[in-house]
Each structure stands twice: as structure tokens, then as C-alpha cells.
Amino acid sequence: MSAPTTIVPGLFGADPLEYGQAVADVAAAGAELLHLDVMDGVFVPDISFGLKAVASIRKSFAGRLDAHLQVARPEVYVEGLAGAGVDLVTVHVEGTPHIGRVLRELERSGVAAGLALNPGTPLSAVEEVAHLVEQVVVMAVNPGTSDFLPYTVDKIRRLRTELDARGLDHIRIAADGGVTAERAAELRAAGADRLVVASALFRDPAGVAAALRSLATAAAGTR
């Protein structure tokens, strides 16, 4: 696997009273991609970033924005998120019976697409449409919880093998949930070349920039 490891800050892991500073910190640290968990209180219990918040973050962050839709009926969010300036929208296959339609709408809106899988959702759920996306996100926790599920490591490994066998080695695999420096190398070795890090990043007493460096070093196996 040739793609370098990208540590992706998950803004939802920051203190809500400090979101503005958190965005400034990851921007100053040179983060390439910022992960925004858009939650509707239905698909998961929490409610998070709405369109106004996303548009505001867009003004403060020059890198790419990935809106991770943890929502029911993701199709109703596509137009608004495109208008808010996101670069990538990741959609849970469990959130809609019409995943192909949502991916088509994203293509028409000029926004890159991703697919997300809950821990209990089989890889076959993305088989028919994986070639249409930039990334597949494998949830390593059940959405709305924080308990890391070790069996998802093998799921990542099997997904990488399947994508590579189909000539889809350009598709990035992101591990999301419970990602720490201690788990980074294992997830990378399994095939995850994007590691979404939330609490472990923003709660590190060393600060965001140092935490990003530490996570990247750990993922490379040189920690």
C-alpha cells in the first residue's frame, strides 16, 4: 500500500466551547483534512454540526472538509453541504435504501463521496458502489459510543484486500472511532491509511500539533 498515513482530526472530540480554537489549532498544525460528524439525533443520539456551523468552519479552515453524515435520510443534506463548501461527504450505507442515488447527487454537486460502515454491517454493503468513492470509513466503534471493537481491525484488512484485488487500490480506507497512538500502527498495518482521531487528539495535554506528530509517528511504526 503506497498511500501515506493521514491523521484526520475529528472536531467532535474537542470541547464544544473551544471549537473555534480547535479549528485554528489543526489548521496551524497543517492538517490536510478535517472530519465533521454531522449528527441528527435520530441515526445517533447526539446532535452536532448544522449547515451554519459547517459554513463557518469552512471560512476558518483552508484544507479539505469531510462531512460524515451520521443521519437518517442523508439525501436531504447534500445540497446544503455542497453550498456550505465541503469537499467530501461520507454517507452511511445504513442511513438510506438509495445509496446509489445519494452518490449520484454528490457527483452532480461536484463533491467527492465516501461510504461509511457500522461495525456490524458487512463489507458486501459497499461492493456495488465502492468504485464511485474516494474513501470507505470503517467504524471501529458503534456510532454514539466510544468502546473500540477489536474485530474491526480484521474487517479493515479484508476490505483492503478486496479493494486491491479489484484494482481499487486508490480508494482510501479510514478507521474511525477509538483511534489512539497505541492502536495507530495496528490499524495502519491492517490497511487504514486515514485515521480519524477525536478525543485522543484534542485532549492530549501536549497540544494538538504535538499530538498530530505523535500519532503520525505511531502509525508509521517508529514510535
How far apart are the C-alpha atoms of 195 and 103, rounded to whole Å? 23
Q: Which residues pair with 176 in a beta bridge?
A: 139, 196
CA angle 16, 102, 138 (to 5 degrees): 55
**In terms of DSSP bridges, do strands 33-39 and 64-70 run parallel, antiparallel, or are they unpaired?**
parallel
CB 166 within 8 A of CB 146: no
The amino acid sitting at 176 is D
**Given the residues 37, 40, 66, 193, the one annotated as active site:** 37
160: Cβ–Cβ under 8 A, 6 or more apart, which residues? 1, 173, 190, 191
**Given the residues 40, 66, 176, 204, the one annotated as active site:** 176
Query: What is the DSSP code string of 92-139?
Result: EGGG-S-HHHHHHHHHHHT-EEEEEE-TTS-GGGGTTTGGG-SEEEEE
State the helix-helix crossing angle for 208-219 and 19-28, rounded to 10 degrees.
50
Told to judge if 169 belongs to the known catalytic residues of this protein, a careful annotator would answer: no
Told to judge if 176 belongs to the known catalytic residues of this protein, a careful annotator would answer: yes
- Catalytic (active-site) positions: 37, 176
